[in-house]
Each structure stands twice: as structure tokens, then as C-alpha cells.
């Protein structure tokens, strides 16, 4: 029996990795739902992959994508993720991150589809617009799943190395331009893992036989000290310490008890390759 899985943000960094892993199971059919025509056209031509052009803000587009493809599960990965952009355009962030999640919930109620909402450590005690929108989206998934007849759960984790907007990519650009990289605070820590690990974790959540409605799945992730990581990759004399903005935490949490300051490892234990050039 086949499983039809719709991935919102299907052309994004995580979406593409999910597709490449999920099609290894011949029983999975993937509906890659995204709004960027050029990126949809770049997806592999494969009998298990169906690109669908649509915006998560558009309920009708999502509704018909689910109806026409008999979708069994939605992995909701689409989001506005850049913290600075969300701060500058909060209404747009709400339209995508909150209204888009509401649309997912509505179609899941309509068709009895399961919803797997991809969240972030920024949603735990949020201090940014991005974190606040993801927190509210989490609450919507939990409340609506627990009070209505559909299965919704949350998958919450930290930063994916080398993803779009990753600090590693920012540093590469800074170093090429100035031969320096910038760090906000010497004691700042963040959770990091590789996209392969995040995809495996999501796959395991999809395959769980028993899931409580509104359940939150949180992996055990290692944290890195940002300053130590910069020094490891670029040498200490090339690292410039600036100041934190009011929207940045020194340490992130995945829940009240799992804080990045308590799970720090040396960069050499986590980074597979030195990516500095």
C-alpha cells in the first residue's frame, strides 16, 4: 500500500533532502508543494515525485493538492525562517508561518490527513518575530489536534549546518570579503546537527506506530560554542566579537530542561570537515 506524502516547502533545503530520502521507500509517493517555479522545475524527474506549484498561504491551492493526490501525510516544512526578515516584515511572517499552518490544519481536518509540523528551538521562550510565529503555530497544531479528529504532531530541533542562512555560509561570505568572521558573544551557544540527521529523525517520527495527538518530538542534539567554532574554522586572530542584539539569546532551549549551554562539545567532535577557505 502506497503512502502519499505532501511536503510544504518541498523545493527548500530540507524539502529536497527529505524527498531524496523518502523515495528510497518504493511505497512513498511525494508531492513537492512549493511556490517557486524555477525550483520546482529543478526537482528530479522521478515517478515517485510530483511537483505542485502553490503557496502555503493559499488554502485552495493546498486543498486541491491534497484532494487530487489523496494525501495521507503532510510534512509542513515551509516557513519564513530568516530572523532579520521576519523582524522587518512581521505581517508577512505571520501570513506564512501562522496562516500557512492554519491552512495545513484545515485540510488535515477535511481529509483526515496526518500533520507533521517542523518547528525550531526559536519557538521555545521566543524573543523574535520568527520564534513567536513558530510558537503560535505549534500551539495551533497542539490544540487543534487534541480537540479535533486529526493527528497533528510537532518536530522541534535546532540549527541545520550548511542550510540556507546557516552561520557557516554567512562566515564564508564574510571571510571572502574581509578575511574576518563575526561572532556576537564569546559565550553564545547553539544547537547544531547535519541535514542527514534531521531527515532521519523526521523519517523515524513518520514511521512511529503510536503518536499522541499534539505530541512534541525533540531529539538529543549537541551544542557548539559559536566563538569556539569560528576560531576552529578560521583561527582566533580572524574572529571579531561584536555585540548581541535584543532579539538574540546567549543560549537556546529545546524545552525547559534541554538548554544549549549544558550540551556543548568541542567543534572537532561535531564538524565533519573544516569548511573555512
Active site residues: 122
CB neighbours (10 Å) of residue 193?
Answer: 20
CB-based burial label for 37 (10 Å; 0-12, 13-18, 19+): exposed
**Are 138 and 117 within 8 A, CB to CB?**
yes
Task: With both helix axes pointing from N to C terminus, report the angle between 59-69 and 100-111 in degrees, rounded to the nearest 10.
Answer: 30
Q: Distance of CA 89 to CAs 81, 95, 100, 135, 223, Å?
A: 12, 10, 16, 17, 30
Helix (H, G, I), strand (E, B) or coil at 165: coil
At 200, is the secondary structure helix, strand, or coil?
Answer: helix
Q: Is the dihedral of CA 165, 96, 74, 145 positive or negative?
A: positive
Question: Which of these, 232, 226, 235, lies nearest to 264 by C-alpha position?
Answer: 226
d(CA 56, CA 83): 19
- Pairing state between β 223-225 and 159-160: unpaired
Residue 151 to residue 114: CA distance in whole angstroms? 5
Q: How many CB atoms lie within 10 A of CB 260?
A: 26
Rounded distance, CA 170 to CA 174, Å? 6
Amino acid at each position: 500500500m502506497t503512502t502519499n506524502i505532501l511536503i510544504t516547502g518541498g523545493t527548500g533545503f530540507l524539502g529536497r533532502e527529505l524527498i531524496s530520502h523518502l523515495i528510497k521507500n518504493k511505497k512513498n509517493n511525494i508531492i513537492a508543494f512549493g511556490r517557486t517555479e524555477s525550483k520546482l522545475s529543478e526537482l528530479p524527474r522521478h515517478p515517485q515525485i510530483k511537483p505542485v506549484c502553490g503557496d502555503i498561504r493559499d488554502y485552495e491551492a493546498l486543498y486541491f493538492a491534497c484532494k487530487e493526490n489523496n494525501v495521507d501525510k503532510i510534512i509542513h516544512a515551509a516557513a519564513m525562517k530568516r530572523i532579520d526578515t521576519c523582524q522587518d516584515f512581521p505581517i508577512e511572517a505571520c501570513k506564512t508561518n501562522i496562516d500557512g499552518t492554519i491552512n495545513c490544519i484545515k485540510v488535515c481536518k477535511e481529509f483526515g490527513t496526518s500533520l507533521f509540523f517542523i518547528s525550531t528551538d526559536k519557538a521555545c521562550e521566543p524573543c523574535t518575530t520568527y520564534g513567536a510565529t513558530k510558537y503560535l503555530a505549534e500551539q495551533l497544531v497542539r490544540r487543534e489536534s487534541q480537540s479535533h479528529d486529526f493527528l497533528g504532531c510537532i518536530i522541534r530541533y535546532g540549527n541545520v549546518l550548511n542550510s540556507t542562512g546557516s552561520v557557516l555560509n554567512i562566515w564564508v561570505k564574510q571571510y571572502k570579503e574581509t578575511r574576518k568572521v563575526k561572532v556576537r558573544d564569546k559565550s553564545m551557544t547553539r544547537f547544531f546537527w547535519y541535514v542527514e540527521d534531521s531527515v532521519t529523525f523526521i523519517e523515524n517520527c513518520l514511521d512511529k506506530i503510536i503518536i499522541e495527538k499534539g505530541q512534541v518530538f525533540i531529539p538529543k542534539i549537541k551544542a557548539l560554542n559559536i566563538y569556539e567554532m569560528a576560531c576552529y574554522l578560521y583561527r582566533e586572530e580572524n574572529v571579531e566579537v561584536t555585540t548581541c542584539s535584543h532579539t538574540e539569546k546567549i543560549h537556546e532551549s529545546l524545552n525547559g530542561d534541554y538548554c544549549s549551554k549544558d550540551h556543548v562539545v568541542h567543534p572537532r567532535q561535531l564538524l565533519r570537515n573544516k569548511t573555512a577557505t
